[in-house]
Each structure stands twice: as C-alpha cells, then as structure tokens.
Structure 1
Amino acid sequence: MHLRAPAIVVAVRQHGEHGAIVRALTRNDGVQPGYVRGGRSRQMRPVLQPANLVQGEWRARTGEQLASLTVELVHSRAALHGEPLAAAALEWVTALTATALPEAQAYPRVHDALSGTLDAIEAAPSARGWAAALVRYELLLLAELGFGLDLDRCVASGGTEDLDFVSPRSGAAVGRGAAFGYEAKLLRLPAFARTGGEASWDDIFDGLRLTEHFLARDILVDRRVETLAARERLVDRLKRAVA
C-alpha cells in the first residue's frame, strides 16, 4: 500500500513514547490512519494539529497493517487553537469527522465541505461568519452517511410552504399548520438550513439543536459522551460570546 495525497488532519493520538497515530481525511481515499514516527516531538507537534492541511505519504506492506505516515505541512491553522471560540469549533468539527466517517471510503463532498468550513472559521474567528456553515456541514454529513433529513415538503400535508419544524422521529419537515398544538414536541427548522442565506443567532442555535439530535441518535450512538463533549463546549462558548 502506497498513497500520497493532500489531507486534512482530523485526529491525533499519542502512541508509545515518541510516536503518534494520525487520522487524516483525503478527498479521494477517505480517512486514512498512519503512524508518524517522532510525532510527539517539538518539531512535529505544530504540524500534527487537527484542521491542518498536510501532504501525507502512507506506506504499508499489507492492507491490514497500520501504515507508516510521513507528513509535510501545507497550510497551518495552529494559531486558531489559541483562540478559545475558534479552537472549540476546530475541535468539534474534526472530532465529528474522525468519529463519524469509516476509514478508506471516499467522501469527496464531505472533504470539500469540511475544507470550506475550516476556511470560514479561519476567516472569521468571531463565529458570525462560520456558525451557519457548521450547521450546513453537519446536515451534509448526515446525508452522506445515509441519515439525511427530508426537508423539502411537509410529512403530514405534502406542502412546501412554511416548513418551520422537523419531526424528531422521522427527520422530516413539518409545516406550520400541521405543527399547530405540537410545536413543543418538534424541532425548529431555520430557513437557512434549507435554502442558505442569512441566519440570526436564534436561527443558528435552532440549527445546532436540530443537527445535534440526529447526530447523537444516528451517528454518535456508541461514542456519544466523548465526542459530544466537544460540541457542548462549543455551544457553551457560542452562547457566552453572543450573550
């Protein structure tokens, strides 16, 4: 096995006294794990930061063997880890990607969306410019993994207007009229989650509650506590930032 490709670092775990096991998302070969010799060294730690773009080269004698990985830094986002809000966003979005995606399966749309989300975080660490993009990334990830929400028409009436809610059971949109009297049992559906465009902070938090429900139920079932803790830290910091 020999693969050379640009990749986004999504997870780093210490291994032994000096090495690290790194998982990185490539566009055409999916998440690829590898052992980086000296990955805990002072020289390599800034390179092996989640969200960094690297040029990776994986080598292994067999497909079952953990590959040896060498990396060259292409673009660093390490400075963002010093910004509490941006750091929380990077921690969550990379942890979600590393946890949710199976290894060695190509998800080019996920790769491109993750790259765009990371670029948005880098361009606007204040969160106003990236929080909505994060929600849309989570919706895309759900869809790509087979758990997409049906947001095109009301599950009860078939209508396409005033789709303000989502059923927490079916993941289907519910129109305002059909939802009357049951609003408390449904999840809010902000318009930007369907059609893009501007989003208020109320819309963003509604979107985060919406995606969190289905991520926790359908994708992070066995890894909920560890991975969703990163999301809780992010949402808490977002709330404090806009208070």
Structure 2
Amino acid sequence: MHLAAPAIILAVRAHGEHGAVVRGLTPDHGVQAGYVRGGRSRALRPVLQPANMVLGEWRARTEDQLPALTVELVHSRAPLHAEPLPAAALEWLTALTGAALPEGQPYPQIHAALAAMLDAVEAAPAARGWAGAMARYELLLLGQLGFGLDLDRCVVTGSGADIAFVSPKSGGAVSRAAAVGYEDRLLPLPAFLRKGGEPDWADVFAGLAITGRFLARNVLVDRRADALAARERLVDRLKRAVA
C-alpha cells in the first residue's frame, strides 16, 4: 500500500514513547490513519495539529498493517489553537469529522466543505462569518452519511410552502399551518438551512439545535458520543460571545 495525498489532520493520538497515530481526511481516499515515527517530538508537534493541512505519504506492506506515515506541512492553523473561540471551532469540526466518517471511503464533498469551514474560521475568528456555515456543514455531513433531513416539503401536507418547523422524530419538515397546536413539540426551522443567506444569531442557534439533535441520535453514538463534549464547549463559547 502506497498513497501520497494532501490531508486535513483530524486527530492525533500518542503511540509508544515517541510516536503518534494520525488520522487525516484526504480528498479522494477518505480518512486515512498512519503511524508517524517521532510524532511527539518538538519538531513534529506543531505540524501534527488538528486542522493543519499536510502532504502525507502512507506506506504499508499489507492492507491489514497500520501504514507508516510521513508528513510535510502545507498550511498551519496552529496559532488559532491559542484563541478560545476559534480553537473550540477547530476542535469540534475535526472531532466530528473524525468520529463520524469511516476510514478509507471517499467523501470529496465533505473534504471540500471542511476545508472551506476551516478557512472561514481562520478568516473570521469572531464567528460572525462562520457560525451559520457550521450548521450547514453538520447538515451536509448528516446527508452524506445517509441521515439527511427532508426540509423541502411538509411531511403532513406535501406542500413546500411556508415551511417553519422540523419534526424531532422523523426529521421531516412541517409547515406553519400543519404545526398549529403542536409548535412546542417541534423544532423551529430557520430559513437559512433551506435557502442559504446570512442568519441572525437566533437562527444560528436554532439551526444548531436541529443538527445537534440528529447528530447525537444518528451519528455520534456509543464510543463516538465523546465527541459531543467538544460541540458543547463550542456552543457555550458562542453563546457567551454574543451575550
């Protein structure tokens, strides 16, 4: 096995005294794991930071063997890890992607969207420019993994008009008319999740409430649920930042 590809680092785990197991998301080969010799050294620690862009080369004698991985830094986002809000965003985005995606399966749309999200966080550390996009990224990931939400037509009437809510059970959209009397049992659906545009903060948090519910129910289950702690920290920081 020999693969050379650009990758976004998703996770780094210490292995042995000096090495590290690194998982990276490549454009055409999905998540790839590899052992980096000396990955905990002073020279490599700044390179092996989640959200950094690297050029990786994976080599293994058999398909069952954990490949040896060498990396060359392409773009560092290490300075953002010193800023609380951007650091929380990078932690969540990489933790979510690393926990949700199976290894070795290509998800080019997710790779492109994650790269764009990381660029947005880097360009606007204050979050106004990327908080809504993060909800859309979570929605994309749900869809790519087979848990997409049907937000185009009301599950009760079949109409695409005046969609205003989401069923927390089915994930289907509900129109304002069909929701009468049941509003407190449904999740408000902000328009930007369906049509794009720039949401206000109330809509951002409404969107995150929807995607967070279905990520926790359908994707981040069992041992992968640990990743949700990173999301809780980020949402808490966002709420404090706009209070």
Query: TM-score, structure 1 length as denominator?
Result: 0.99
Q: Could you report, residue by residue, the CA deviation over 1:31-53 in whole angstroms, capped at 9, with x for unpaired residues? A: 00000000001110110000000
- 105 and 173 in structure 1: CA distance in 2 versus 1, 3 angstrom threshold: same
Correspondences of 1:128-143 after superposition (within 5 Å): 128-143=128-143
Partner of 2:45: 45
**Mind listing any 5+ residue stretches in structure 1 that lack a counterpart?**
none
SS of aligned partner of 1:197 = coil
Aligned pair 1:161/2:149, yes or no?
no
Q: Report 1:1-243 matches (<5 A).
A: 1-223=1-223, 225-243=225-243
Contact 1:216 1:224 in 2 (8 A): no
Amino acid in structure 2 at the alignment position of 1:27: P
Q: State the percentage of identical aligned residues.
A: 71
Deviation at 1:225, TM superposition (A): 4.2
Number of aligned residue pairs: give it: 243
The answer on whether the counterparts of 1:151 and 1:173 sit within 8 Å (CA) in structure 2 is yes
CA distance in 1, matches of 2:33, 2:125: 29
Contact 2:51 2:77 in 1 (8 A): yes
Structure 2 residues not aligned, in runs of 5+: none
Structure 1 CA distance, aligned partners of 2:193 and 2:164?
Answer: 11
Distance 2:33 2:147 in 1: 25
For residues 121-145 of structure 1, what are the alpha-carbon distances to aligned partners after superposition, in whole Å with 9 as ceiling and x for unaligned? 0000000000011111000000000
Look up the equivalent residue of 2:85 and give its one-letter code: L
Deviates more, 1:158-167 or 1:206-215: 158-167
Q: Which amino acid aligns with 2:200?
A: S
State the 1:223 CA deviation.
2.9
Which structure 1 residue ranges, 4+ long, deviate > 4 Å from structure 2? none
